[in-house]
Amino acid sequence: MNGIMGYGPELFNTVQKLVVKTETKINFIQVGAYPCSELITYEGPSLMWNISSISGGDVYVISWPTVIKLMKTFPSHYQNSMISEVLFEDCSVEQIFKFPVDSQTQNINILINGELKEDPTYVNPNGDENDHSVETAYIDYTSNSRFNQIVGMQINK
């Protein structure tokens, strides 16, 4: 989408009830950080985060050239769920984020929003770097967003 969602408390409550009742996962793709020349944090655009968080979905703020790359990743989203979400206040220093991975896991999707100074390093539970199975679906420097997939995981404990 490239615009601002219409807002009314009654409409939002109806959508919220429908999402909870149907257990529907809603993802938004917002093209550009200034929909209709407004900041993405303003009331209309920020509804995307409210609705997606209620549903367990995601908001992807990307540029037009990245849309096709992102769309190719969606089939893998339907078979899994979000393990964790973390907000780091200080991105100027190295951050370590750990999450559980089942031994039967085949793919992990990682969405990073923030200043993209360096490529992230993914480490297996045994301490070995896992760069051979990491695929970058997209890196979008205009919106400071990247989407990585760890595919065909080989977990060596």
Q: Are residues 58 and 84 in the same domain?
A: no
pTM for this model (two decimals) = 0.51
Q: Does any domain span residue 54?
A: yes
Measure the CA dihedral 77/83/87/91, to 10°.
-80
Domain limits for position 109: 80-157
pLDDT band at 157 (very low <50, low <70, confident <90, very high): very low
Q: Residue 69 and residue 139: Cα distance in Å, rounded?
A: 10
Residues 6 or more apart whose CB falls under 8 angstroms from that of 132 comprise none
Cα 30-74-115 angle, rounded to 5 deg:
50
Number of domains in the chain: 2
Alpha-helical segments (H) within 1-138: 9-22, 43-55, 64-71
Shared domain for 124 and 87, answered yes or no, is yes
pLDDT tens digits, residue range 83-141? Answer: 667 777 777 788 888 877 777 777 788 888 887 778 888 887 778 887 668 888 888 88
Residues 106 and 147 in one domain: yes
Mean pLDDT over residues 62-82, rounded?
A: 67
Please say if the pLDDT value at position 147 is more than 80: yes
Tell me: do 153 and 90 sit in the same domain: yes
Statement to judge: residues 85 and 145 lie in one domain: yes
The answer on pLDDT for 74 being more than 70 is no
Asked if 109 and 36 sit in the same domain, the reply is no
Question: Is 72 a domain residue?
Answer: no
d(CA 43, CA 95): 30
Residue 79: is its pLDDT beyond 60? no
Whether residues 86 and 36 fall in one domain: no
pLDDT at position 42 over 60: yes
CA angle 108-48-31, nearest 5°? 80
- Residue 73 falls within a domain, yes or no? no
Indicate whether 52 and 89 sit together in one domain: no
Kindly state the tokens that stand for 28.
């938004």
* Same-domain status, 87 and 45: no
DSSP conformation letters of 47-67: HHHHHHHHHT--EEEE-HHHH
